[in-house]
Amino acid sequence: MKRPRPNSREKILAAAADVAREAGPGNLSLDAVASRAGVSKGGLLYNFPSKAKLMQALVEHYLGEFEKRLEAAGAAQGSGANLLSTYVQLSVSECQETHASASWIFSAIAEDPEFLVPIKIFRRQLFERLKAETPDLRALLLAYLAIEGLRSLSLFDFDLLSEDEREQLVKVLLSISVRGLADD
């Protein structure tokens, strides 16, 4: 089965993420994005009338893709999976992928701090959903905040943990996401 060719909007978003990641925060140029995407600047502006609109779409695309991967991972694990363990596994995998680094998000925030609003809303909604589906609040708090800490380390490209330490942390997080924490 052939994979569908990405449309120009998807190519532009992928190119924008690549350019922002390579050029550094705040250095995204529409010319560089158009060139990387293989479209004219007019074609880029047709899809995204301004740099701000492009950055807004990039943020929304990132959040939508994470949600899709979360749903797909949960479906692949079957009915026995819980949302927290799915979230832990997906997030750890995302943090380990070098191309998944979302450093481009700094470009969006540098362009307009209001781009944090959809991220805050998404994170709040995800946390509330996790809370509703996780019986052990303490386990959720520990797992969620540890994963967000790993995400921050990845985002800032800090290699604080050794591979063994990271594996141990993930093992513990997966264990408590399934079993919860023992009572004190």
Provide the residue ranges of all domains of the chain, joining segments of one domain with +: 55-179
What pLDDT sits at residue 76? 79
Find the mean pLDDT for residues 59-82: 82
According to DSSP, residue 25 is labeled T
CB-facing half-sphere around the CA of 139: CA atoms within 13 A = 23
Find the mean pLDDT for residues 29-47: 93
CB 30 within 8 A of CB 58: no
Euclidean distance between CA atoms 12 and 39, whole angstroms = 8
Backbone angles phi, psi at 56, to 5 degrees: -60, -45
Euclidean distance between CA atoms 60 and 9, whole angstroms = 13
* One-letter identity of residue 102: A
Around Cβ 112, how many Cβ atoms within 10 Å?
14
Residue 79, pLDDT above cutoff 70:
no
Residue 33 or 99, more confident:
33
**Considering only CA atoms, which of 5, 175, 16 is closest in space to residue 102?**
16
Q: Is 58 helix (H, G, I), strand (E, B) or coil?
A: helix
Euclidean distance between CA atoms 96 and 92, whole angstroms = 6
SS3 readout for 2-20: CCCCCCHHHHHHHHHHHHH
Euclidean distance between CA atoms 142 and 138, whole angstroms = 6
What pLDDT sits at residue 74? 77
Give the global pTM: 0.76
Instruction: Grade residue 102 by pLDDT with cuts at 50, 70 and 90.
Output: low
